[in-house]
Amino acid sequence: MLQLFDLSRLFGDKRAVDRVSLSIGDGEMIGIIGRSGAGKSTLLRLINRLIDPSEGKIVFDGTDVTALHGKELRAWRARTAMIFQQFNLVNRLDVLTNVMCGRLYEIPAPRVLLKWFTPTERALAIQALERLGMADVAMNRADALSGGQQQRVAIARALMQRPKILLADEPIASLDPLNAKLVMDALADINRRDGITVLTNLHTLDTARTYCRRIIGMSAGRVVFDGAPEGLTERVLCEIYGQSDQEALDERLTSTSLPAAALAALAG
């Protein structure tokens, strides 16, 4: 169980994340929605400890994550895998090496320097790639792949970490609808089959509704909604997206996903 207690992060005077308290059970799949600048990315980066909180505490299964440093901090990052909007792969390395990077936290320094991986690590990486249908391109350079393929390689890298929690920061914002669906399906599959908690920032409401049983709405750094998608009434959405009453929020305008018929046509 992951618990956040009054978690805040200040950039200068601005509170990017403002006293957020949440309790996240094991195996949940949660979508975080909100306007850009609402603090969604900062929240995920705080949980992974890529950035340090200004106030508050993160507790996982009774351990104070905010107090970790050095090797323990790196072990925590390894347990909370992260997926980025821009994939954040190493372009100049091949796909296989990128995936094997997922085990870097436990690889001793001499092997890091020599870029030397064991056959077991290679096999695990191929398994992870195979699961995402990417084993064929294992020897290609990462930047030779399309955005959707790169994101799936990034997911394979995350799997390689054998994480407890998967944090996805706008994983489909740079992808076309078909690839977006592939990536979201992969995340849902990982959540269901491996029981990994998935926390994902999403910029489209319908994706959140489709894939997540629990949705967290953020506005100006604060959590303004936390519940099932059914609870997202017009009034709640206005609070999250700051829309005035006159401009009714049209979900179709912000949607990047394909209607079912179109997807069926593409698949056939």
Binding site for another protein (CB under 8 A): 48, 50, 74-78, 81-82, 84, 86-93, 97, 101-105, 107, 109, 112-113, 115, 154, 157, 161
Query: In angstroms, how far is CA 139 from the centroid of its own chain?
Result: 25
Output the smallest distance, CB 144 to another protein, in A. Answer: 13
Q: How far is the CB of 49 from another protein (least distance, A)?
A: 9
Single-letter amino acid code for the residue at 156: A
Separation of alpha carbons 83 and 183, rounded Å: 11
State how far the Cα of 226 lies from the Cα of 211, in Å rounded to an integer.
Answer: 15
Q: Judge contact between 168 and 199, C-beta under 8 A.
A: yes
Tell me how far, at minimum, the Cβ of 30 lies from another protein, in Å: 19
Residue 264 CB, nearest distance to another protein (Å)? 35
Q: By C-beta, is 22 or 44 nearer to another protein? A: 44
Strand partners, 64: 59
226 burial (CB, 10 Å; 0-12 / 13-18 / 19+) is middle
Within 8 A by CB and 6+ apart from 252, the residues are none
Q: Which is nearer to another protein, 99 or 237 (CB)?
A: 99
